[in-house]
Amino acid sequence: MYNFILEISLLISLGAMIYLVARVLPRVGDDVGDSHRKSRIDTLIEAIPLHKVDAAFSGLVEKTLRRVRLILMKLDTILGRHLHRVRNLSREHKSLTEEKQTLFTTNGNSKEEHTPSEK
């Protein structure tokens, strides 16, 4: 029971300190005055025209993306032509193998029936 009373009094005193600090805090001003001079880095950063740099960077990115798109379109065309050739060659090869298989058959009979195996 004594521990509980001790904890309550500790929390109440902590709350009172936070309340007093919160009341005094708005009195402190943010008056920096003339004592703050700009450093060389600050003046250098302010001298950079960021809007011009942004516009130039956007233009560079746009040109690069257009060139990449053009290269990809050319590559797509080349691959499409190659695929078309491969497809045609496989169809021709398939039709040639079918002709070879049907070369020795007549009227649905297999070549085993027409080959002379007995004398």
- Residue 60 Cα distances to 68, 72, 74, 113, angstroms: 12, 18, 21, 76
106 and 114 in contact (C-beta within 8 Å)?
A: yes
What token pair was written down for 48? 């950079």
Pair 87, 93: CB distance under 8 Å: no
Taking the domains of the chain in order of start, what are their residue ranges? 59-102
How does pLDDT run across 31-65, given as a tens digit for each residue?
A: 555 556 778 888 888 888 889 999 999 999 999 99
Tens-place pLDDT, residues 12-25 = 999 999 999 888 87
Q: What is the pLDDT of residue 72?
A: 97
Query: What is this structure's pTM?
Result: 0.43
Residue 118, SS3 per DSSP? coil
pLDDT at 101 over 80: no
Q: How far is CA 85 from the centre of its chain?
A: 34
Q: Residues 103-114: pLDDT tens digits? A: 565 555 555 555
Helix (H, G, I), strand (E, B) or coil at 37: coil
